[in-house]
Chain A
C-alpha cells in the first residue's frame, strides 16, 4: 500500500513570548500532542478559532518549524533523518498557499520570475520549458498569459491567489498546505478559487491540508474534517457521515453557531456558554463545555476511534 502523503505524530509546540523588552515572558502552548495523516488524493480540512494553533500546524507540516516533541513524515519518511538530497526532492512535493497572497509573492519579481524561480531550482534550468509550463498553468488557473509581465501589486487579490496556486503547481507537488487560502478574498472571488482548487485536485490527484475557520469552505473541499480546540485535535470525522453523527461538544457548538444568512430569522441560535480562559489539568474544553462531568477535571481525553469514519476526544460522547 502507498504510504500516507503526510503523517504527523504526537506534535507538541510551545512558544515563549517576551514582553516588556524581554523582562517578562510567558508560554503559549500552540499544539498539544496532535497526530493526523493524509492519504494520496485526500483533503483534510481543519477548523478552529483564531489562535488555536492552525497556522503552527501548517508550518510544522511544511517543515518550516521544528516541533518540541513528535515527528513529521512526508511520504513515509521522517523529516528527522532525511539527508540533504532526499529532503530537497521531497520538499518540492510539499507546497504551500498561504492566507495573504500579497505578502507571499516577492513584490520586486515579475509574475514570470515568481513562477520560474521554483521551477529552475527544483525541476530544470530550461527556460523555454519553464515558460511553457507557466503558460499552461496560468491557463488552468484562469489567468491571461499577459500577467507574466506584471508585478504582484498590479493584480487583484483573487488574481494574486491564482498566481500563488500556479506557483505551487510549477514543481509538480503532491501535497498542498493551504492556510486560510480564501479568507482575504471577497466571497464572490472566494467561490472561484474554491472551485478551481477542487478541479485541480481532481486533475492532478493532489492532497490538501486545508486550514480555515469557515465551515462552508471546509465542507466544500474536504474528505475528512478535523476540529482543533486550543492546540488539541478534538475530533476527526469523515464528511460523508458528518451530518448524521453526534459530535464532540465543541464541534456541536460550532455547527449550531453557524449563522446561515438564508435561514428564517426566528431560528438564529441563542448560545450562552461560560467564557473562561483555559487553566485546568482536565479536558481542554472543560471551561466552556455544557455537558462536562466529574471525570473531565482529571485528565485531557485522548482521541479515540468511534467508527471507521469518526474519532473523538471526549469522555462523554
Chain B
C-alpha cells in the first residue's frame, strides 16, 4: 500500500536570516497508522507538525522539501486551493484547548462556524444533526446540553473532546495531535487517548502524535520518530525503540525516565541552540562516547535493521 503521508527533505526556519530550524526531515505514514513523535523541547516537533498543514508561526517560513497527502503535493498547490486539504484531509489539535477555543462563543457557535466552512452543502437541520453526531462520536453523552455551553463551563477533558470534535468536523483522514493531553490530568488523559485510539481503529484515522511523554507514546503509537536539533535521529516501531534504542540521545531519553521512583541522571546537559549547531554530528557535545568522525562529518539517517533507522556513525 502506498503511504498516505509522505514528507521528503522538509526544511524550514527563520524568515529573516535563513537559519534552518527543521532540516531535511523525511518520513512516511501509512493509512491508519499512528506515528509518535518524541524529542526534546525546541527540537522542531511543533514546527514540523504545523508544516504538515502548510501553516507557519510568524517569523518562520518554508525553505524546501515536499509533503504529499493522499497523492496531493501540499507545497505545489496554489494558496487558494489549500482549503481542499486543510481541515478536510488533515487537521490539527493543540495542547491547550482553552486558548484555542473562543471563550465568548458557545460550543454550538464554534462547531457551526467550522461546519459552514467545510460543508456548505448541508442544510440547517443536517448541520445540527452532524453536530450532535460529532459530539457523540467524541464520547459526549449529553450533546444537546453541551452545545449550549461556553468553554469555561467545561472540564479540561470535555474541552479537549470539543477540540477533537471541531477537528473532525471536516472528516479529515489524518490528524496531527501536538501534545493534546499535556494540560490535563492523567485520568482525563487516558480518556482522550482512548478516544483517539478508538477513532484510529474505527474510522481508520491516521495520526501524527507529538508528545514529551514516553508513557503516552508507548501506549498510542505504532512507530516513533525521535527529533533532536531539528532532525530525525531515530525512527523505529514502538516496541523496538523502547527495548533497543540505538541513538545515544534516544538511549539517554529512555534511561533518564524515572523507574521505581529513581531517575538515572545523564550528566552532560544543555539543549542545543538551533542557530549555533556544531559542524558534524549535532549530538556530539552531549554524546556519552562521541566518535572521531562526528567532528567533521554529519551522519545520515540509515536503515540499520529492518524498519529501524538511525543517524549515528556507530552503526555505519
Interface residues of A (CB under 8 A from B): 17, 19-20, 26, 28, 48-52, 142, 156-159, 184-192, 194-195, 213, 215-217, 219-220, 250, 253-254, 257-262, 265, 268-273, 275-278, 288
Docked CA distance A100–B31 (Å):
38
User: CB-CB contacts of B130-167 with A at 8 A, as 1s and 0s?
Assistant: 00000000011000000000001111111001000000
The answer to whether A195 and B156 touch (CB under 8 A), given A215-B186, A254-B187, A269-B190, is: no
The answer to whether A191 and B263 touch (CB under 8 A), given A49-B156, A277-B158, is: yes
**Residues on the A chain within 8 Å of B279, using CB:** none
Partner of A260, one of B154, B188, B215, B253: B215
Docked CA distance A253–B189 (Å):
11
The answer to whether A259 and B269 touch (CB under 8 A), given A19-B104, A187-B257, is: no
Give A205 Cβ to nearest chain B Cβ, in Å: 22
Can you report 9 A-B residue pairs in the complex whose CB atoms are below 8 A from each other? A28-B152, A50-B185, A159-B269, A192-B269, A194-B263, A215-B186, A261-B257, A262-B218, A275-B191
The answer to whether A49 and B258 touch (CB under 8 A), given A159-B269, A189-B269, is: no
**Residues on the A chain within 8 Å of B256, using CB:** 187-188, 190-191
- B259 in contact (CB, < 8 A): yes
User: CB-CB contacts of B263-292 with A at 8 A, as 1s and 0s?
Assistant: 111110111110000000000000000000
- B184 in contact (CB, < 8 A): yes
Give A208 Cβ to nearest chain B Cβ, in Å: 16
Partner of B156, one of A51, A189, A215, A253: A51
Docked CA distance A261–B215 (Å):
4
Find the residue from B155, B269, B273 having the highest chain A CB count within 10 A: B269
Docked CA distance A272–B191 (Å):
7
**Residues on the B chain within 8 Å of A215, using CB:** 186
Give B169 Cβ to nearest chain A Cβ, in Å: 20
List 10 extra interface pairs beyond A158-B269, A257-B186, CB under 8 A. A19-B103, A19-B152, A142-B269, A188-B269, A213-B185, A215-B186, A217-B258, A261-B218, A272-B194, A273-B191
Docked CA distance A271–B193 (Å):
11
B186 touches A259 (CB 8 A): yes
Give B244 Cβ to nearest chain A Cβ, in Å: 13
B156 touches A158 (CB 8 A): no
Give A9 Cβ to nearest chain B Cβ, in Å: 26
- B8 in contact (CB, < 8 A): no
B183 touches A50 (CB 8 A): yes
B189 touches A257 (CB 8 A): yes
Give B269 Cβ to nearest chain A Cβ, in Å: 5
Partner of A50, one of B184, B212, B267, B270: B184
The answer to whether A188 and B253 touch (CB under 8 A), given A156-B270, A220-B261, A257-B190, is: yes
Docked CA distance A313–B42 (Å):
41
Give B109 Cβ to nearest chain A Cβ, in Å: 13
A195 touches B270 (CB 8 A): no
**Residues on the A chain within 8 Å of B41, using CB:** 157, 184-186
Docked CA distance A34–B207 (Å):
41
B215 touches A258 (CB 8 A): yes
A261 touches B214 (CB 8 A): yes
The answer to whether A261 and B188 touch (CB under 8 A), given A158-B269, A187-B257, is: no
B271 touches A156 (CB 8 A): yes
- B216 in contact (CB, < 8 A): yes
- B22 in contact (CB, < 8 A): no
The answer to whether A49 and B242 touch (CB under 8 A), given A220-B261, A277-B153, is: no
Docked CA distance A28–B103 (Å):
14
**Residues on the A chain within 8 Å of B80, using CB:** none
A254 touches B186 (CB 8 A): yes
User: CB-CB contacts of B171-194 with A at 8 A, as 1s and 0s?
Assistant: 000000000000111111111001
Docked CA distance A303–B267 (Å):
42
Give A216 Cβ to nearest chain B Cβ, in Å: 4
A262 touches B187 (CB 8 A): no
User: CB-CB contacts of B200-236 with A at 8 A, as 1s and 0s?
Assistant: 0000000000001111111100000000000000000
B262 touches A220 (CB 8 A): yes
Docked CA distance A275–B187 (Å):
11
**Residues on the B chain within 8 Å of A219, using CB:** 258, 261
Give A63 Cβ to nearest chain B Cβ, in Å: 27
Docked CA distance A293–B273 (Å):
55
- B28 in contact (CB, < 8 A): no
